A and B are shown apart, each in its own frame.
Chain A
Amino acid sequence: GQQLNQSPQSMFIQEGEDVSMNCTSSSIFNTWLWYKQDPGEGPVLLIALYKAGELTSNGRLTAQFGITRKDSFLNISASIPSDVGIYFCAGQNDPYSGAGSYQLTFGKGTKLSVIP
């Protein structure tokens, strides 16, 4: 089945530093998504990428959809304490390519800790 490899697994950074995490896939996705999950909550969508090569920003967050459609990265600039949480990449499956629905395939997450 499809697998997403997300790295790093965890990061400890100083407040104000920039952060980068990435995701690679063994197969092609037409849509890449980045979610953040806080403890005891469900994931919340941060950025959605729909086109190969697309670079999209949302405040201090920037994400890119790789040209091969098999990878994506997320950058966070000037980290702050509320950036703490687990970040997940997700590829959206496509029913026109054999999947039953637009269900998401998730990476295992990057746990971010910010030291004030």
Chain B
Amino acid sequence: GAGVSQSPSNKVTEKGKDVELRCDPISGHTALYWYRQSLGQGLEFLIYFQGNSAPDKSGLPSDRFSAERTGGSVSTLTIQRTQQEDSAVYLCASSSSGGALDTQYFGPGTRLTVL
């Protein structure tokens, strides 16, 4: 596709359940970022993947959060034992090589609601 796509667009889950959020970056982009946007807030960095390098996990808020990127393309963000404070919009972005001058292109996000 032409842009970054994410699925599902909305996810409602019960507290304590696990959820998986998917991101398809722009074809050919080697860098992929996950951000979280809580209501009325700016985006908060979670994790970064670049090619085969070890990911930068410095933004993950707890060990309940993890992410994978298989085959250098699609990425999955997993939240285990969800809590109400995990409710937010989760946004994925990709850039061509993760360099300083590369534009990060964002997907539409997945709105997660934890009841």
Interface residues of chain A, those whose CB is within 8 Å of chain B, are: 4, 6, 30-31, 40-45, 48, 50, 88, 90, 92, 94, 99-109
A contact residues around B100 at 8 Å (CB): 30-31, 92, 94, 102
Chain B: CB-nearest residue to A44: B106
A contact residues around B33 at 8 Å (CB): 101, 103-104
Task: Give, as a whole number of angstroms, the nearest-CB distance from B95 to chain A.
Answer: 8
Chain A: CB-nearest residue to B109: A42
Cα–Cα, bound, A41→B89 (Å): 10
Cα–Cα, bound, A101→B43 (Å): 16
Contact of A105 among B31, B45, B102 (CB under 8 A): B45
Contact status A42-B56, CB under 8 Å: no
A contact residues around B1 at 8 Å (CB): none
B62 on the interface (CB 8 Å rule)?
Answer: no
Contact status B108-A108, CB under 8 Å: no
Asked if A104 meets B43 with Cβ closer than 8 Å, knowing A42-B93, A50-B101, the reply is: yes
Interface residues of chain B, those whose CB is within 8 Å of chain A, are: 4, 31, 33, 35, 40-45, 48, 50, 56-59, 91, 93, 98-109
Chain B: CB-nearest residue to A105: B45
Cα–Cα, bound, A94→B98 (Å): 11
Chain B interface main SS type? loop
B contact residues around A42 at 8 Å (CB): 4, 91, 93, 106-109
Contact status B99-A106, CB under 8 Å: no
B contact residues around A88 at 8 Å (CB): 42-43
Contact of A109 among B42, B56, B109 (CB under 8 A): B42
Asked if A40 meets B101 with Cβ closer than 8 Å, knowing A106-B42, A108-B41, A108-B42, the reply is: no
A contact residues around B109 at 8 Å (CB): 40-42
Contact status B48-A45, CB under 8 Å: no
Cα–Cα, bound, A93→B38 (Å): 21
Known: A44-B106, A106-B42. 4 other contacts (CB 8 A): A30-B100, A43-B91, A101-B33, A103-B48
Cα–Cα, bound, A50→B99 (Å): 13
Contact of B48 among A50, A101, A108, A109 (CB under 8 A): A101
